[in-house]
Amino acid sequence: MEALAQAPLDYLEQLEFIRKQRSSLTPWEGAGVLLPLYFSEEEKRDSERWGQYVVLLNKRSKRVQQAGDLCAPGGGIHPVLDRISQQVLQVGLLPWARGLAFDRARQRGKTVYKKILFFLGNALRESWEEIRLSPFNVEFLGPLESYRLQSRRWIIFPVVGRVKRAWQNKLSPEVDKIIAIPLPTFFLPESYAFYSLEVPRELIVQGIPSPWEFPCLVYNADGEEEILWGATYMILRAFLRIVFDQPLPSPDGRRVIHRPLISTYLSGDEET
């Protein structure tokens, strides 16, 4: 919490950018996301808890844009519901809406604090809608700097939270499954590679290069190779750099994963 509280935050600047772009032909939008950390308990010894922290990510279903990608729960702004959530959090009547992280966020100033609460409320609402993660089951740890998603002209406003206990999830049609990646995975050089996507002609004409290449993290989940890349990859690495005092590995080019990019990647497939 202290490390996140001391990190730079650009919410006001990015929201002003969105405001100025509203009248353009290609306006930008904002979206809140929650990075949910969870202590996965493996065994108990002498009343002590043993296990490791994992980050819980959604694997997007074929019904939505960017199908198959791993992402943090979250999504676009609902002006009415998210403002109500912000006001409820700001009043502080709920016991879980208090604590060190809220105090540190408040010290950033009244205007910034309100925007942090707005995107926290946004992310918590989306987490409930996507995976039935209750807001009462999340401990707020702090905000992260925004990230611009060029392919959708979205600016992502991330917040970090700790999931306090296991829950009975219920996935929305947008989510195929939940992938739990242990945090130590991010510090293993063998976890990294380059992701090379072969882009179909209908997307090349929209300006996407082929091959489309990115650094990525590879994680084996129940025998299936899951690829974390793009915005969520970058946001998670930014978080880890803030809270851990050790460098993160990067792909060295010796491992390249080649896969085709589906033609409905940017549009989604409503018929599936």
- Taking only the tens place, the pLDDT of each residue in 13-24 is 999 999 999 888
Residue 213: is its pLDDT beyond 70?
yes
* Rounded-to-integer distance, Cα 146 and Cα 126, Å: 17
* Rounded-to-integer distance, Cα 87 and Cα 121, Å: 9
- Taking only the tens place, the pLDDT of each residue in 90-105 is 887 777 888 999 999 9
Phi, psi of 161 (to 5 degrees): -145, 155
Q: Please report where in the chains the tokens 């992402």 appear, as a residue.
A: 71
What was the pLDDT predicted at 272?
Answer: 38
What was the pLDDT predicted at 45?
Answer: 67
Residue 157: is its pLDDT beyond 90?
yes
Which regions of 61-153 does DSSP assign to beta strands (E)? 70-71, 74-76, 138-143, 147-149
Please, is 158 exposed, middle or buried when counting C-beta atoms within 10 Å of its C-beta (0-12, 13-18, 19+)?
A: buried
List all residues 6 or more positions away from 13 whose beta carbon is below 8 Å from its beta carbon.
none
Where residue 271 falls among pLDDT bands split at 50, 70, 90?
very low
* Rounded-to-integer distance, Cα 243 and Cα 101, Å: 14
**DSSP string across 198-224:** EPPHHHHTTT--SSEEEEEEEEEETTE
Q: Tell me the pLDDT of the chain averaged across its residues.
A: 92
Of the chain, the percentage scoring pLDDT greater than 90 comes to: 74
* Rounded-to-integer distance, Cα 102 and Cα 36, Å: 17
- Taking only the tens place, the pLDDT of each residue in 141-150 is 999 999 998 7
Q: Collapse the DSSP code of 22 into the 3-class scheme (helix H, G, I; strand E, B; otherwise coil) and give the result.
A: coil
What was the pLDDT predicted at 125?
Answer: 95
Of the chain, the percentage scoring pLDDT greater than 70 comes to: 97
Domains and CATH numbers, the chain: 2-42+51-260 (3.90.79.10)
CB atoms within 10 A of CB 205: 8
- Confirm if 241 and 248 have CB atoms less than 8 A apart: yes
For the CA atoms of 243, 138, 34, 66, what is the dihedral angle to 10 degrees?
130
Q: Rounded to two decimals, what is the model's pTM? A: 0.91
Greater pLDDT, 169 or 49: 169
Counting DSSP H helices and E strands in the chain, the numbers are 7, 12
